[in-house]
Chains A and B, each alone.
Chain A
Amino acid sequence: MPPESPPPPATPQDADLRRQRLVLAARALHWRRTRRLTTILLGLWLLTGFCTVYFARELAHITVFGWPLSFYMAAQGASLVCLAIIGFYAWRMHQFDAAYAQALNPAPEHAP
């Protein structure tokens, strides 16, 4: 599967140009959304990991169901947050992909 070449060179026909602009705009929107989602989720990831470790001594005084909070976060909490982040990312990106497909082919029939 060789990588697809960048969008084909513009032809004089208007329809093609419009189509190309549509694709570029949809791609740009998709990439903006992806980038924002990635930034937010990575921020959350960094915050959980860093706070768990950096403030571990302070958090150790809080007890949750027998666990000192810092021990719980390091042993389970941080990893579960990661799993949630990855799951949310996969679900949200799927929505973005669907929106992209929708923008390119608004009609229910497949365009060429």
Chain B
Amino acid sequence: MSAGPASNKRYFRRLSGYYAWFCVCFAGFLLALTVLEKEGMPRLWIGHLFMFATIVLYATIGVVSRTSNVTEYYVAGRRVPALFNGMATAADWISAASFISLAGGLYLYGFDALAYIMGWTGGYCLVALLIAPYLRKFGQYTIPDYLAARYGGGAGGRGGPVRALAVGATIIVSFIYVVAQIYAVGLIASRFTGVDFSVGIFLGLASILVCSFLGGMRGITWTQVAQYIIILVAFLIPTMWLSAKHADNPLPQVAYGSVLPKLAQREAQLAADPREEAVRAQFRRQAEDYGARLAALPGSWEGGRLDAQRRLDTARLRNASLGEVRNAERALAAYPKTVEDADTLWRAQRARLLARAQPPQPHAAPFPGATEAESNARRNNFLALVFCLMFGTAALPHILMRSYTTPSVHAARGSVFWTLFFILLIYLSIPALAVLAKYDIYTSLVGSDFRSLPTWISYWANVDKINPLISVTDINGDGLVQLAEIAIDGDVLVLATPEIGGLPYVISGLVAAGGLAAALSTADGLLLAISNALSHDVYYKIVDPGASTQKRVTISKLLLLAVAFIAAYAASQKPADILSLVGAAFSLAASTLFAPLVLGVFWKRANHAGAIAGMIAGFLTCLYYMLRTNPILGGRMDAAWFDIAPMSAGIFGVPAGIAAVVLVSLLTAPPSRASDGLVDYIRAPE
């Protein structure tokens, strides 16, 4: 498989040529659409064109790079140049959450959300220094491959048990994650083309499948490079526009430093504004009202139900307008069915109202808190979250298996560098976008007249009628928009930025295409990680070691199809519970896989029993803490240790995993000579 440096260089030049052409065509496509929009093409068509054109593009790349060769299918022939491998890994990494939700999170939570920026970039130090070069030197196909070869054990010393555990961890972590991506695909597709949510999911699924089904790793690598370019352009254009508008400097990463003090000034002004205070006082009163009803349970529940019934009856009796009767019916239908329901619902309402009654927190202030202890708890949670995201990054199978696709160990190290470089091009502008959009909304929307609200507000308010993405209501009745009267969902921020900045609709379509590319590229990588684990590790290595290469690839493709449909089905059920667990995937991955991966290289004494104990102990500790504290899984935050949030369970899981590997390895017999030799081989340079 090894090609000479001269042919590598030629290959690199050819690829660069292709992608240069792609960029030119892409720019031409954007220009043409801009002209067409000026000529009066309807918005919906632009949305359709973007969806259609990008999906055709991904499908074409998939068809061109179709393969049934094992090495091509699993590891793209091990000849992806470091720069392109970095770009593809960056697209693999930048998920729907990074592209769509992260800027919104920063907008809403300020400094606290920077934990994601730090965690999701800092983890690459661990990947580069501790894992990637060694995996490349080992040079097989999957992560369980490496663990099984290193630790051995099981029947015939082939490492069956270790492999099975690693496969289990890979599947659990990747599946939670892929469902969230497919969910995002459905959401974006349905918002921008007007199709039904489930239709959107299956449209997205089709484009995922053409490239990964036909081309495996090779197909998705080349698709992901194209997707990265789309993501980058889609993110930078609106951000640069806002930056030029508010800071007179088109480089958002540099410019927003000058906007931050202005934003802080405006925040202080708004916090002290008496009209803002009046709106907040209203929220506080409503919250107290809920508090009183909660205190009077169960009597207040009974009374409220009779009240709602009576209101409906009177509306019917006096022949009120249809709308009024409907409203009364709806109020009765939405009324909590039992006292317990009322308790949880009213508690949630009260919490929401109390949150809205808070004055705005300064965006750049780290860990604001009423007391020293509260502030410290926020700092500790920030640290724990950063820790989990970093170690989770270094243990996510779909990222690690990228180390196998480079031509050499040196290229694997370079590839991690390029990965982080390309990720940072976007991640460094995410906080900038949040600050710029916040400043825009605080200065131009707040204080404006209700009769002249910008059109994007009504557009986005009507996308989802039940849980509006944005709502602006005149609560104190003075006809002016107050900050406290705006309720905005974090997810809408990036998608609405072009309209907030007053850009043409083409850019909105581009941003949607970017979000779609981010979700699709990550879903591609994850699906491949799952199906490879099943086909290579379970089928080929455990069930039928004599399978021909042709059969292995076919099985893998069939499994990919099956997994994709299961994931799409799960996503089409709109599983709110799974979505909130995505952050937990990082903790689970870190707790289960990090210790055996790293100790396998750096500590020769680590053995089979130790690896098994480490994976089980890490996983169980992490799971136990989540079950204990996550309200969705039936836990209570009162039971938390050191006030650490359930999402950051990895802070206990990782040390537990490492301790278990060390202890059990020391208590059992040292590993065999063969494993010693393997470690020596992995450590030695090429």
Within 8 A of A (CB), among B369-390: 375, 379, 382-383, 386, 390
Instruction: Determine which of A71, A75, A97 lies in contact with B428 in the assembled complex, contact meaning CB atoms within 8 Å.
Output: A75
Within 8 A of B (CB), among A31-85: 31, 34-35, 38, 41-42, 45, 49-50, 52-54, 56-57, 60, 64-68, 70-72, 74-76, 78-80, 82-83, 85
> What residues of B have a CB within 8 angstroms of the CB of A41 in the complex?
125, 129
Q: Is the CB of B680 within 8 A of A6?
A: yes
Task: Determine the distance from Cα of A56 to Cα of B685 in the docked complex, in whole angstroms.
Answer: 40
Minimum CB–CB distance for B390 against chain A, Å: 8
Q: Is the CB of B118 within 8 A of A65?
A: no
Minimum CB–CB distance for A90 against chain B, Å: 4
Q: Is the CB of A30 within 8 A of B125?
A: no
Q: What DSSP secondary structure best describes chain A's contact surface? A: helix
B261's nearest neighbour on chain A, judged by CB, is: A66
Bitwise interface map of B from 668 to 684 toward A, beta carbon under 8 Å scored 1, else 0 = 00000100111011111
Task: Determine the distance from Cα of A26 to Cα of B379 in the docked complex, in whole angstroms.
Answer: 46
> What residues of B have a CB within 8 angstroms of the CB of A53 in the complex?
118, 379, 382-383, 386
Q: Is the CB of A97 within 8 A of B253?
A: no
Q: What DSSP secondary structure best describes chain B's contact surface? A: helix
Q: Is the CB of B260 within 8 A of A93?
A: no
Q: Is the CB of A3 within 8 A of B413?
A: no
**A1-B124 in contact given A57-B367, A67-B260 (Cβ < 8 Å):** no
| Interface hub of A65, A78, A80 (most chain B Cβ within 10 A) | A78
Within 8 A of A (CB), among B96-138: 111, 114-115, 117-118, 121-122, 124-125, 128-130, 133, 138
> What residues of A have a CB within 8 angstroms of the CB of B686 in the complex?
97
> What residues of A have a CB within 8 angstroms of the CB of B133 in the complex?
93
B254's nearest neighbour on chain A, judged by CB, is: A65
> What residues of A have a CB within 8 angstroms of the CB of B375 in the complex?
57
Residue B228 CB within 8 A of the other chain = no
A5's nearest neighbour on chain B, judged by CB, is: B677
Residue A4 CB within 8 A of the other chain = yes
Q: Is the CB of A52 within 8 A of B125?
A: no
| Interface hub of A49, A57, A66, A78 (most chain B Cβ within 10 A) | A66
**A78-B122 in contact given A86-B416, A90-B414, A90-B417 (Cβ < 8 Å):** yes
Q: Is the CB of A31 within 8 A of B683?
A: yes
Q: Is the CB of A45 within 8 A of B122?
A: yes
Minimum CB–CB distance for A105 against chain B, Å: 13
B: contact size bracket? 35 or more
Q: Is the CB of A30 within 8 A of B117?
A: no
Minimum CB–CB distance for A69 against chain B, Å: 10
Q: Is the CB of B117 within 8 A of A75?
A: yes
Residue A18 CB within 8 A of the other chain = no
Residue A106 CB within 8 A of the other chain = no
| Interface hub of A1, A76, A94 (most chain B Cβ within 10 A) | A76
Task: Determine the distance from Cα of A89 to Cα of B130 in the docked complex, in whole angstroms.
Answer: 11
Q: Is the CB of B129 within 8 A of A82?
A: no
> What residues of B have a CB within 8 angstroms of the CB of A70 in the complex?
111, 366
Chain A positions near chain B (C-beta within 8 angstroms): 1, 3-6, 27, 30-31, 34-35, 38, 41-42, 45, 49-50, 52-54, 56-57, 60, 64-68, 70-72, 74-76, 78-80, 82-83, 85-87, 89-90, 93-94, 96-97, 100-101
Chain B positions near chain A (C-beta within 8 angstroms): 1, 111, 114-115, 117-118, 121-122, 124-125, 128-130, 133, 138-140, 149, 253, 257-261, 364-367, 375, 379, 382-383, 386, 390, 409-410, 413-414, 416-417, 420-421, 424, 427-428, 431, 602, 673, 676-678, 680-686
Show 19 residue pairs from A and B whose CB-CB distance is below 8 angstroms, ordered by the A residue.
Answer: A3-B139, A3-B149, A6-B673, A38-B129, A41-B125, A52-B118, A56-B382, A60-B365, A66-B258, A67-B364, A70-B366, A74-B118, A76-B253, A76-B431, A82-B122, A82-B125, A89-B129, A90-B416, A101-B685
